[in-house]
Amino acid sequence: MADVRASLVLCYGLVQVAGYAVAQDEPVRVACVGDSITFGAGVEPRERSCYPAVLGAFLCEGYEVRNFGVSGATLLSAGDLPYVEQDAFRQALDFSPHVVVICLGTNDTKPWNWEHRERFASDYRALIDSFAALPTAPRIIACLPVPAFGEAYGITGERVEMEVLPLVRQVAYEAGVELVDLHTPLRRHPEHFPDGVHPNAFGAEAMARRVFEVVEFAPDARVVELPAEAVVVGTQSFRGYEQVDFTLEGRECHLVRPRRAAQGQPWLWRARFFGWEPQADTYLLERGFHIAYCDVAGLYGSPPAVEIWDRFYEFTQSIGLHPKPILAGVSRGGLIVYNWAAKHPERVAAIYCYAPVLDMRSWPLGLGAGPGNPVDLQPCLQAYGLTEPPGPDFPLTPLNLLAPIAEADIPIVHYVGLADTDVPVAENTAIAAARYAELGRHLEVIGVEGMGHHPATYGTDDPTPVVDFLMRALGRKPNYAALPAPSVEFRGELAGWGGGTWWDQFEAINELARAQGPNIDLLFLGDSITQGWTGPETRVAVTGGDRLFDRLYARYRAAGFGISGDRTQTVLYRVLNGNLSGLSPRVIVVMIGANNLGPDGSTGDEIADGTEAILAAIQRQCPDSRVLLLGCFPRGHEPGTPMRAAIDRLHERLAAVADGDRIYHMDIRHRFLTADGRADLVTMADDAVHLRPAGYEAWAEEMAPLLEELMAD
């Protein structure tokens, strides 16, 4: 079972293992330097939901995060409001930070400021040097500014993207500081920018997550150096990181170093088209991964290519990279990735492919729906020693080499354009996914509607789903579902609160807990589905009341502590911060997880970890209470979806936790589904998430026998 206090101790322990030079009783001080976006202009409530505040909640007890943002501030010293001339700058220096996160540049794009753009790099370097000279020798993290949509306040999104981002990368490379890309993950979310420039609370949370994942990972003290047999050709910037170009046995090779390597020296091995669509590469560099490349052009994944990769792998081990890399195949790079993985499955951590070729008959031979490529046809056959096209059972076709990969249980994710006519999905990824499933494994497919073999705009796709998949596979992804954090939800009336913010609801429940105390014998904890029992105002069952909640549960002195939009992490935060203070209910009913399945994209195991953390916190706060875990009700109209699979896994985990004494699990999903597994719109609302009145009656009916027994005990 997850132990929240142990988690907090572990979080505090990061202070020691992350390499910060701080005393045992001293927190790691994080200074967030920036403009109005850092300050939190437009965020409700600003003090609690701006990105530095959310970052502080994620980092927990071992850190002290302060917001030194100044609305309107420019990086340029000749701008209309230079940051270095503001009190906040001097206060940030006096704070003696161990980590400095800089997010500036947006206001510099105003025409009257951008006249001085030739000084941008030198002014940025001077700002970095000011912090670097502090006795704490802080980590300095430069952020690529968030996108701007259209033109507002004189700021233009095109200038931010096309001119500011390259300059920030240049400065980071030359100054040797870390980078965080806040631009790409928010580029697809204009809904988070009400005025086109300032992110709302949801955008602030996204920023905080990106920075958190860089700040919190533990580094490796070792430094990867190239030996003499690697003939270094030169070095250059790879999107702000050091790229070493070298040859090995005459083959073109590249190694991109992170600013701060993660423990174990993890790495991603690119196959073909080095640098093409590099978003996932840069995300992994931020997290301490190396990126390596060994050219096998013209060999199409054939045995000679595999042999070259064998020797390059031995080279990577001699310089100390992790024994199991992520293999990344773009287009025809899928051939070498799968053929090498099939030969050495024990050496592979995961496979990531972008529009991969998995059958030469599809490409370049063009024997299927695609046109193939006549230029590559004969060279491909010659690389395999063939004089004519192979049959579908050709043993060196990746589609026929999945068994050893499946036996090793290698996680695989493919990112594909569903309108790809060059490398048709139906002839490549779809077949691989089906065969991998037949072998008892899952191949994750992220399909983009309307996209062909190439993206519409180079370098703009958000690789977060891919990187999250890979980090989970390697056990390196933070589980936000189990990390206690307040909600950034602010849509009061739309969220069914009648007004205000999540904090208003949270504090109202704290006040109710203080007022009712021992008078609550039955407590419901959860999200909007739980809130549906009572609404946001009269949360206590009223004797003689007209609501179903009153009629059924007034005799149990019941209360409903559901808040619309809540996730496991926000319920955990509430439990740890006052919602249960002074309470000792006989039974606490927990039904949570639906909102973790939305934008969070949490897995069933992650939601289960979060639910178990809630359970552990409840048991410490209310040791005499019994807990009834209802998991998560169905979400979505159709069976067989990833969301439904995640809920299945959640219930498997919760059933294993139940002991039939203090902890009970009940799965009542069948009451909200038809016989064929579709959402039953008699009990569920049209959105296939919330319940109709008949759904609450079904919930109560299913729970009644056990609840009566537990309340009478």
User: 3-class DSSP state for residue 409?
Assistant: coil
Burial 460-491 (b: 16+ CB within 10 A, else e): ebbbbebbbbbbbbbebbebbbbbbbbbbbbb
Average of pLDDT values for 289-297? 97
In a domain, 223, yes or no: no
Is 230 within a domain? Answer: no
Q: Is residue 429 domain-resident? A: yes
Q: Do 422 and 535 have their domain in common?
A: no
199 and 174 housed in the same domain: yes
Which secondary structure element, helix H or strand E, spans residue 208, and what is its range?
helix 201-215
Residue 319 pLDDT: 96
Helix, strand or coil for residue 92? helix
Does residue 208 sit in the same domain as residue 281?
Answer: no
Both 299 and 195 in one domain: the answer is no
Residues 440 and 326 in one domain: yes
> In CATH, what number is assigned to the domain containing residue 167?
3.40.50.1110
Region 311-317 average pLDDT:
97
The answer to whether position 222 is within a domain reads no
Average the pLDDT over 343-352 and give the result.
98
If you count them, how many residues does the chain have?
A: 713
**Number of domains the chain is built from:** 3
343 vs 222, more confident: 343
Same domain, 34 and 80: yes
Longest dimension (CA), the chain: 87
| pLDDT grade for 20, boundaries at 50, 70 and 90 | low
pLDDT for residue 12: 35
Residue 106 forms part of a structural domain: yes
**Residue 8: pLDDT above 60?**
no
The answer, yes or no, to whether residue 16 has pLDDT greater than 50, is no
Percent above pLDDT 90 for the chain: 90
User: Would you say residue 150 has pLDDT above 90?
Assistant: no
Query: 498-535 burial string, b = 16+ CB within 10 Å, else e?
Result: eebbbbbbbebbbebbeebeeebbbbbbbbbbbbbbbe
Residue 569 belongs to some domain of the structure: yes
Of 454, 477, 500, which residue sits at a domain end?
Answer: 477
What is the pairing mode between strands 251-257 and 241-248? Answer: antiparallel
* CATH classification of the domain holding 301: 3.40.50.1820
Query: Is pLDDT at 483 greater than 90 in this prediction?
Result: yes
Which of 477, 502, 522 is the last residue in one of the domains?
Answer: 477
Specify the pLDDT at position 18.
54
- Estimate to the nearest angstrom the gap between the alpha carbon of 336 and the chain centroid: 28
| R_g of the chain, CA atoms, integer Å | 27
pLDDT-derived band at 3 (thresholds 50, 70, 90) equals very low
| Ramachandran angles phi, psi of 13, nearest 5° | -65, -25
Task: For the chain, give the mean pLDDT.
Answer: 94
**469 and 516: one domain?**
no
Tokens matching residue 38 = 């850092």
Query: What digits encode the pLDDT tens for the residues 675-706?
Result: 999 999 999 999 999 999 999 999 999 999 99
* The pLDDT of residue 458 is above 90: no
Percent of the chain with pLDDT over 70: 97
Residue 112's pLDDT band (cuts 50, 70, 90)? very high
Q: Is residue 117 part of a domain?
A: yes
Query: Which amino acid, 551?
Result: R
14 and 60 belong to one structural domain:
yes
Are 555 and 688 found together in one domain? yes
The pLDDT-based confidence of 2 (bands split at 50, 70, 90) is: very low
- Residue 224 located in a structural domain: no
pLDDT band at 128 (very low <50, low <70, confident <90, very high): very high
pLDDT, position 89: 98
In 3D space, the residue among 271, 187, 286 whose CA is nearest the CA of residue 238 turns out to be 286
Tokens matching residue 418: 């569903």
Contacts of 456 (CB under 8 A, 6+ apart): none
What one-character DSSP code corresponds to residue 27? P
Residue 713 predicted with pLDDT over 70: yes
Distance CA 570, CA 580 (A): 14
Tell me which long-range contacts 551-554 makes (C-beta under 8 A, separation of at least 24): 552/700, 553/522
What pLDDT digit, counting tens, does each position of 413-447 carry?
Answer: 999 999 999 999 999 999 999 999 999 999 999 99
Range 512-534 average pLDDT? 96
Question: Distances in Å between the alpha carbon of 670 and those of 54, 473, 611?
Answer: 38, 31, 21
Position 206 scores a pLDDT of 96
pTM here is: 0.92
460 and 318, same structural domain? Answer: yes
Residue range(s) defining the domain that contains residue 539: 488-712
pLDDT digits (tens, 9 = 90+) for 386-418: 999 999 999 999 999 999 999 999 999 999 999
Region 150-167: mean pLDDT is: 94
User: Are 450 and 573 found together in one domain?
Assistant: no
**What is the structure's pLDDT at 600?**
85
Looking at the fold, whether 504 and 412 belong to one and the same domain comes out as: no
Q: Are 498 and 484 in contact (CB under 8 A)?
A: no
Query: CB neighbours of 241 closer than 8 A, spacing ≥ 6?
Result: 173, 179, 256, 257, 258, 259, 282, 285
pLDDT tier for residue 229 given thresholds of 50, 70 and 90:
confident
3-state secondary structure of 354: strand
In the listed set 477, 510, 525, which residue is the last one of a domain according to the structure? 477
Give yes or no for a contact between 561 and 516, defined as CB atoms under 8 angstroms apart.
Answer: no
List the structure tokens of 226. Answer: 């190239």
How many helices (H) and strands (E) the chain has is answered by: 25, 21
pLDDT for 1 beyond 90: no
pLDDT, tens only, 557-566: 999 999 999 9
Q: What mean pLDDT is predicted for residues 275-293? A: 95
Is residue 104 within 8 Å of 154, Cβ to Cβ? no
In 3-state terms, what secondary structure has residue 603?
coil
> What average pLDDT does the segment 349-355 reach?
97
- DSSP strand pairing (251-257 vs 290-294): antiparallel
Cα–Cα distance measured from residue 536 to residue 499, given in angstroms and rounded to the nearest whole number: 10
Split at pLDDT 50, 70, 90, the class of 5 is very low
CB 352 within 8 A of CB 403: no
With residue 206 as reference, give the H or E element that holds it.
helix 201-215
